[in-house]
Chain A
Amino acid sequence: MSEFYTSVHLDKDLCKGCINCIKRCPTEAIRVRNGKAVIKKEYCIDCGECIRICKNHAKLATTDSMDNIHKYKYVVALPAPSLYAQANNLDDVNIVLSALKEMGFDDVFEVSAAAEVVSLLSRRYIEENKDKWPIISTACPSVVRLIRVRFPNLVEHMMPIRPPMEIAAEMARKRAIEKTGLPSKDIGIFFLSPCPAKVTSVKSPIGYEKSNVDQVVAIKDIYPKLISAMTHVVEQNKVEELSQSGKIGIGWGRIGGEAAGLLTDSYLAADGIENVIKVLEDLEDRKFSKTLSFIELNACTGGCVGGVLQVENPFLAIVKLKGLRKYLPVAKIHEAPPDIHPEWTQDVEYLPVFKLGENMVESLNMMNQVDELCKKFPGLDCGSCGAPTCRALARDIVRGAANEKDCIHILREYIHKISDEFSHL
């Protein structure tokens, strides 16, 4: 797998070459070339903003099909906690979990249960690593990717613990092997995902070598079937007692939930990718007090309930999650299982993908050229050239990936000039 796998991709036939996605992308990863959007993989952090904004539905997330359950002898569903917030009037998580079994899964393992394990381990890590305060959450893969390419000084602040999805997958696989005696390869672990970034973190993890998840299915893809299966299990009285998580675990589905699980007031929680970037910029400039212990950042507004593969309005989803958590115990898991491997096993290195030149001399020259070019451009950031801003176009030109006449204003001047010359012939 390449270092820059991305789940977000383009359906060329649907793309009209408009400028909505290039303007929305927080890392300026998209250009329109020859009338179609092109994603620079090394810049993309899979936040899904372009999927959200594209009116032509030309931006898609690569996910796996539910049909893949037939490829395994025993399949386990891992529902993200935000899944529970997608259904109306749900008062019992067990209905969702039983419905997943009804849909063909042999077992379910709640990611929210593993989240309680991660909460426990995080509390310990934060306490033991005061020199690295504030510790930044690594549960949102887009945030991890963003830090890796843009915030070199914050890499060491990242929480080196695998996300709940991974812990759930490891625990689920162990349980499946114990239960069935099957070899690992015959067991299929299916994560039901709110976002494309989770797909990417499975195909190309950061901080650990290999994911324990085998397939990632979009919540929106299973939604219609899930709703009818839920009705069915209720009508047929087939609701089983399967839930293993409490308030803390399920709270992870929305912004502030992870922080709440740390049982401290000394945290900051920010959601929405632009807000996340602002927090990281200020953090890098040391604008935060040293007493701040933890920073939770979610690329999507509202947290995971705001993922682009969700169905429900994120704010309504938050209301539903609150209602659902009301009568649950604070946590159902109070001890980390001794046989799991929660820590990151690989160092994460800063990747300067936005660097201009090969060396300082070259970079300095290129930067001067960018400034010169910017003086020529109108500064409207109109996007007609296919780059999100005039400055981005200037950088593309200096990198050799675009031409001055891609700017329609410069092109117009040029045409005026040659038509004048013609008329004087």
Chain B
Amino acid sequence: MSDSLKLQYVISDEDFTRAGEASGDVKAKLKMMGVNPEVIRKVSIAMYEGEINMVIHANGGVIDVIITTKDITMILKDKGPGIKDVDLAMQAGYSTASENVRALGFGAGMGLPNMKKYSDEMNIETEIGVGTTVTMKVYF
């Protein structure tokens, strides 16, 4: 008997077509649990944004997901360049994405703002040259 479900996803930066697989899997699992559809929508949007961010900005990383009967916690950990100015990065529309990435339709500067908007709690720990850990929580 376990009161939580622990999942781990390794996010590769090598294949852009695979971005979204982790959030897709979590979405499928939440549906199977019978979680409220509106909550599932929040989780999958927030996590997908985070996943894409890791691919675009941080050469991938690892996402740990802990699902309990009350909430879901997503810990997105990367060894990327770190975020220089978190307050600036949180501003809607601000982006450091390359032209290449923008050409794919990403890099609109809505990643972090959307992650904040669709999660109930969000915490960012970042260190330049070391990496970033974003923890998001959504209550059921």
Chain B associates with chain A: yes
Interface string of B1-18 (1 = CB under 8 A from A): 111110000000000000
Q: Which residue of A lies closest to B4 (CB)?
A: A364
Interface size on B, residues (CB 8 A): 26
Check A352–B38 contact: CB distance below 8 A. no
Contacts of A354 in B (CB 8 A): 31-32
Q: How far is the CA of A356 from the CA of B69 in the complex (A)?
A: 14
B68: CB under 8 A from chain A? Answer: yes
Stretch from B41-49, B55-63, B81-89 contacting the other chain: B41-49
Check B48–A360 contact: CB distance below 8 A. no
Interface string of B25-45 (1 = CB under 8 A from A): 001010111110110110011
Q: Which residue of B lies closest to A281 (CB)?
A: B24
Contacts of B133 in A (CB 8 A): none
B23: CB under 8 A from chain A? Answer: yes
Q: Min CB distance, B108 to chain A, in Å? A: 11
B109: CB under 8 A from chain A? Answer: no
Check B44–A360 contact: CB distance below 8 A. no
Check A360–B2 contact: CB distance below 8 A. no
Interface residues in A343-377 by Cβ distance below 8 A to B read 350, 352, 354-357, 359-361, 363-365, 367-368, 371
Q: Given A285-B20, A285-B48, A364 and B33 touching (CB < 8 A)?
A: yes
Check A363–B32 contact: CB distance below 8 A. yes
Contacts of B94 in A (CB 8 A): none
Interchain CB contact (< 8 A) of A285 among B1, B23, B38: B23
Interchain CB contact (< 8 A) of A355 among B3, B33, B44, B45: B33
Check A364–B37 contact: CB distance below 8 A. no
Check B67–A355 contact: CB distance below 8 A. no
Check A285–B45 contact: CB distance below 8 A. yes
Contacts of A364 in B (CB 8 A): 2-5, 33, 67-69
Q: How far is the CA of A361 from the CA of B33 in the complex (A)?
A: 9
Contacts of A360 in B (CB 8 A): 33-35, 69, 140
Check A153–B41 contact: CB distance below 8 A. yes
A185: CB under 8 A from chain B? Answer: no
Check A350–B37 contact: CB distance below 8 A. yes
Check A152–B40 contact: CB distance below 8 A. yes
A284: CB under 8 A from chain B? Answer: yes
Q: Given A363-B33, A367-B29, A153 and B38 touching (CB < 8 A)?
A: yes
A70: CB under 8 A from chain B? Answer: no
Check A361–B24 contact: CB distance below 8 A. no
Q: How far is the CA of A355 from the CA of B40 in the complex (A)?
A: 14
Q: How far is the CA of A152 from the CA of B34 in the complex (A)?
A: 11
Contacts of A412 in B (CB 8 A): none
A417: CB under 8 A from chain B? Answer: no
Check B3–A284 contact: CB distance below 8 A. no
Q: How far is the CA of A357 from the CA of B34 in the complex (A)?
A: 8
Q: Min CB distance, B3 to chain A, in Å? A: 7
Contacts of A286 in B (CB 8 A): 41, 45
Q: Min CB distance, A205 to chain B, in Å? A: 23
Check B5–A355 contact: CB distance below 8 A. no
Contacts of A356 in B (CB 8 A): 32-34
B3, B34, B45, most chain A CB atoms within 10 A: B34
Q: How far is the CA of A368 from the CA of B45 in the complex (A)?
A: 24
Q: Which residue of A lies closest to B1 (CB)?
A: A365
Q: Given A356-B32, A367-B5, A361 and B45 touching (CB < 8 A)?
A: no
Q: Min CB distance, A388 to chain B, in Å? A: 15
Q: How far is the CA of A371 from the CA of B24 in the complex (A)?
A: 17
Q: Min CB distance, B32 to chain A, in Å? A: 5
Q: How far is the CA of A350 from the CA of B1 in the complex (A)?
A: 30
Q: Which residue of A lies closest to B67 (CB)?
A: A364
Interface string of B106-140 (1 = CB under 8 A from A): 00000000000000000000000000000000001
A to B CB contacts below 8 Å, 15 in the list:
A150-B31, A284-B27, A285-B20, A352-B34, A354-B32, A357-B33, A360-B34, A360-B140, A363-B32, A363-B34, A364-B3, A364-B4, A364-B68, A364-B69, A367-B33
The 4 closest A-B pairs by CB, nearest first: A152-B37, A360-B69, A363-B33, A355-B34
Knowing that A355-B31, A363-B33, A363-B34 touch, tell me 11 more A-B residue pairs with CB under 8 angstroms.
A152-B37, A153-B37, A285-B23, A285-B24, A352-B34, A354-B32, A356-B33, A356-B34, A360-B69, A364-B3, A365-B1
